[in-house]
């Protein structure tokens, strides 16, 4: 754990020239970080039935759904380019890709409104409710 | 479910999937970039991650939504860490309240810059740049102006009033979003079948109180509950019917009326690891929803035993 005094700078200007990338939340842990041929072996085999998507991944049937970011929110993938050599150092992250919607996948079960990630998307508006009062009283 | 496999720790993580308020990266009028900083969490007292927006004008909180066994595909890459991190605007007053109330014991009016600081968390004083904080300090403190200098003294009464308004505001959002807050909160589909319960209003209040309580100390949370006219619930009420493994028969007979015993270790429910903050709050509220259950069943057991 790094010291409480260090900060991590979010290089905001990097957002402008960032490409959009499709983002999938997979229902399994993949013990790897790095490049993979996602479009060739995963995206290419997904099928759309109405709003539900299906795909076979490693022999397991996955059912998925697209989920938009809440209004006023953008998906940002932040990446640390240079690892700090000590925990006393300030750090920098850049926006490596941007997304407006993500696709989440369930193992076997069809996507529905009880899926925790769907409920998680309610959080920003709730948080706004908790915060917003100060402004209402001010204006 | 099969037993969890031993997983190697995920140490080389250098990428995070976030959903951030547009203003985090929009506000480029200032030269400075937004920064992640550690500040003292007003509820736990421990370090939590926040973001100070460009020019420190806005505070954001950082909450990770996490489920076991999830990973990301991002473009043509795999990211092992399956967390989804939310960066949402937060009222900086929540972080200023503990600073002010700590100094309130002295009972004197003090200048802000002497109070809003934390030796352990040097970024704390940057909160004073948040314009919304300075403009709304009167919600939590009494103000005194001596010549051009302003001095403040924490007021618990004002703070509780301010928190109450937050609770009311949150209830409005909950209702608008049709977020289910009652006993059936685990399943939205289930709740919709149920007729509107009489206790719904109280459920909303308790849920909102639970949400706000994540931003305040336990003492303030208790005081706020009282101010809202909600009794403190002593018994553990769970979403599910009393589990068989509770083995009521093992309890001595006199336990029936003594609800404090239900607070014992075997009754504390392990919260699911990967719940969102909102769900955690849900769970909290949930526990309180089943009052009638335990009180209905326990006496019967007593009778049978005799």
Which phi and psi (to 5°) does residue B150 adopt? -110, 140
Residue B198 pLDDT: 52
In 3D space, the residue among A138, A72, A127, A129 whose CA is nearest the CA of residue B132 turns out to be A138
- Of residues B161 and B235, the one with the higher pLDDT is B161
Nearest to B54 among A12, A73, A113 (CB): A12
The structure tokens listed for B152 are: 């403040």
Over the stretch B39-66, which tens digit does the pLDDT of each residue have?
999 999 999 999 999 888 899 999 999 9
Evaluated on CA atoms B44, B47, B48, B50, the torsion sign reads positive
Neighbour count for residue B279 (Cβ, 10 Å): 21
Going from the C-alpha of B169 to that of each of B163, B226, B275, B283, the distances in angstroms are 10, 18, 23, 21
In the block, which residue shows the tokens 């203003």? B23
Kindly give, in sequence order, each residue whose CB lies less than 8 Å from that of residue B205, ignoring residues fewer than 6 positions away.
Answer: B167, B171, B228, B230
The alpha-carbon gap from B86 to the nearest alpha carbon of chain A, in Å, equals 8
What is the DSSP-derived secondary structure letter of residue A45?
G
Interface of B with A in 34-53 (CB under 8 A): 34-38, 47, 51
Is A123–B65 a contact, with Cβ atoms under 8 angstroms apart? yes
- Of residues A99 and A87, the one with the higher pLDDT is A99
Residue A99 pLDDT: 96
Q: Could you give the CA distance from residue B92 to residue B132 in angstroms, rounded to a whole number?
A: 8
With 50 as the cut, is the pLDDT of residue B147 above it? yes
Interface of B with A in 52-111 (CB under 8 A): 54, 61, 63, 65, 67-80, 82, 84, 86, 88-91, 93
In 3D space, the residue among A53, A56, A52 whose CA is nearest the CA of residue A42 turns out to be A56
Neighbour count for residue A99 (Cβ, 10 Å): 20
With 70 as the cut, is the pLDDT of residue B284 above it? no
- Look at phi and psi of residue B2 and say left if phi exceeds 0, alpha if psi is from -120 to 50, else beta: beta
Interface of B with A in 196-255 (CB under 8 A): 211-212, 215
Give the residue ranges of DSSP H helices in B118-265. Answer: 131-135, 156-176, 188-193, 200-213, 218-227
Q: If you count residue pairs, one on A and one on B, with CB atoms under 8 Å apart, how many are there?
A: 240
In the block, which residue shows the tokens 């479009």? A39
What is the DSSP-derived secondary structure letter of residue A82?
S
B125 to chain A, any CB pair closer than 8 A? The answer is no
Is A128–B274 a contact, with Cβ atoms under 8 angstroms apart? no
Task: Indicate the average pLDDT of chain A.
Answer: 87
Q: Could you give the CA distance from residue B304 to residue B227 in angstroms, rounded to a whole number?
A: 41
Is A4–B47 a contact, with Cβ atoms under 8 angstroms apart? yes
Site from A2, A57, A73 to mutate, B interface, most B CB atoms within 10 angstroms: A73
Neighbour count for residue B141 (Cβ, 10 Å): 24
- Residue B214 buriedness (CB in 10 A; 0-12 / 13-18 / 19+): buried
Is A127–B22 a contact, with Cβ atoms under 8 angstroms apart? no
Site from A18, A32, A33 to mutate, B interface, most B CB atoms within 10 angstroms: A33
B18 to chain A, any CB pair closer than 8 A? The answer is yes
B173 to chain A, any CB pair closer than 8 A? The answer is yes
Kindly give, in sequence order, each residue whose CB lies less than 8 Å from that of residue B276, ignoring residues fewer than 6 positions away.
Answer: A116, A119, A120, A123, B63, B65
Kindly give, in sequence order, each residue whose CB lies less than 8 Å from that of residue B263, ignoring residues fewer than 6 positions away.
Answer: B234, B235, B236
Per DSSP bridges, beta strands A8-11 and A91-99 are parallel
With 90 as the cut, is the pLDDT of residue A27 above it? yes
On whether the CB atoms of residues A47 and A126 are closer than 8 A, the answer is no
Could you tell me the pLDDT band of residue B80, with boundaries at 50, 70 and 90? very high
Over the stretch B174-216, which tens digit does the pLDDT of each residue have?
888 777 776 544 444 444 444 455 568 888 999 999 999 999 9
- Of residues A136 and A129, the one with the higher pLDDT is A129
């Amino acid at each position: 754990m790094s010291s409480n005094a260090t900060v991590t700078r979010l290089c905001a200007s990097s957002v402008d020239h960032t490409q959009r990338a499709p983002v999938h939340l997979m229902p399994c842990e993949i013990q790897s970080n790095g490049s993979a041929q996602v479009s060739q072996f995963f995206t290419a085999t997904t099928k759309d039935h109405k709003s539900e998507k299906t795909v076979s991944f490693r022999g397991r049937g996955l059912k998925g759904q697209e989920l938009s970011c809440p209004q006023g929110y953008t998906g940002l993938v932040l990446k640390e380019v240079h690892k700090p050599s000590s925990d006393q150092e300030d750090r920098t992250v850049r926006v490596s890709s941007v997304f407006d919607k993500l696709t989440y996948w369930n193992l076997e079960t069809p996507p529905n409104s009880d899926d925790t990630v769907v409920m998680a998307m309610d959080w920003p508006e709730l948080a706004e409710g908790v915060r917003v009062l100060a402004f209402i009283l001010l204006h | 479910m099969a037993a969890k496999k031993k997983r190697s720790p995920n140490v080389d993580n250098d990428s995070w999937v976030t959903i951030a308020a547009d203003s985090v990266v929009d506000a480029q009028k200032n030269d400075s970039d937004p920064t992640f900083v550690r500040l003292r969490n007003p509820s736990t007292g421990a370090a939590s991650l926040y973001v100070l927006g460009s020019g420190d004008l806005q505070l954001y909180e950082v909450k990770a939504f996490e489920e076991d066994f999830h990973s990301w595909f991002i473009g043509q890459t795999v990211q092992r860490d399956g967390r989804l991190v939310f960066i949402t605007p937060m009222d900086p007053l929540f972080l200023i309240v503990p600073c002010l109330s700590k100094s309130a014991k002295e009972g004197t009016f003090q200048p802000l810059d002497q109070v809003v600081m934390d030796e352990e968390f040097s970024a704390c004083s940057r909160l004073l740049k948040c314009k919304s904080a300075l403009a709304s300090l009167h919600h939590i403190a009494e103000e005194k102006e001596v010549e051009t200098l302003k001095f403040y003294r924490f007021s618990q009464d004002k703070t509780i009033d301010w928190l109450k308004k937050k609770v009311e505001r949150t209830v409005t959002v909950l209702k608008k979003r049709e977020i289910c807050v009652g006993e059936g909160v685990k399943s939205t589909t289930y709740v919709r079948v149920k007729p509107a319960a009489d206790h719904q209003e109280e459920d909303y209040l308790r849920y909102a109180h639970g949400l706000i309580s994540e931003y305040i100390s336990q003492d303030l949370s208790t005081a706020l509950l009282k101010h809202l006219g909600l009794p403190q619930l002593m018994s553990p009420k769970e979403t599910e019917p009393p589990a068989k493994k509770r083995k009521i028969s093992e309890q001595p007979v006199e336990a029936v009326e003594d609800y404090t015993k239900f607070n014992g270790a075997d009754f504390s429910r392990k919260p699911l690891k990967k719940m969102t903050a909102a769900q955690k709050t849900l769970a909290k509220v949930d526990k309180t929803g089943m009052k009638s259950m335990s009180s209905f069943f326990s006496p019967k057991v007593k009778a049978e035993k005799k």
